[in-house]
């Protein structure tokens, strides 16, 4: 089965507590069509959506930067 690739941008990073631990929620949405030809191609395939990641592993959360774009590869987990 093929992998589906999407391109998302970090819209917001929220810091809060969860079960007495620090948690960061990283909110992403598909790139818009005005960021060059690659972004336009991704936007034409996926013009809307939302991804929200609640991270208690802060090292993982720190891999995301506000306003930066990331590829999201989706592969069937069997």
Model confidence pLDDT, tens digit, residues 14-49: 999 888 899 999 999 999 888 789 999 989 888 899
> What pLDDT does 36 receive?
87
> What pLDDT does 16 receive?
93
pLDDT above 70: percentage of residues in the chain: 100
Contact 40, 33 (CB under 8 A): yes
Please give the mean pLDDT across all residues of the chain.
93
Predicted TM-score (pTM) of the model is 0.86
Between the alpha carbon of residue 38 and those of residues 3, 10, 32, the distances in Å are 18, 17, 10
> What pLDDT does 61 receive?
94
Contact 28, 10 (CB under 8 A): yes
Strands of 69-74's sheet, edge to edge?
Answer: 51-55, 21-30, 4-18, 69-74
């Amino acid at each position: 089965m093929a992998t589906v690739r999407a391109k998302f941008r970090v819209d917001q990073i929220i810091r809060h507590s969860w079960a007495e631990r620090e948690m960061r929620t990283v909110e992403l949405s598909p790139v818009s069509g005005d960021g060059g030809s690659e972004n336009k191609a991704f936007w034409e395939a996926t013009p809307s959506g939302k991804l929200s990641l609640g991270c208690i592993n802060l090292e993982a959360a720190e891999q995301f930067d506000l306003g930066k774009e990331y590829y999201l590869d989706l592969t069937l987990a069997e």
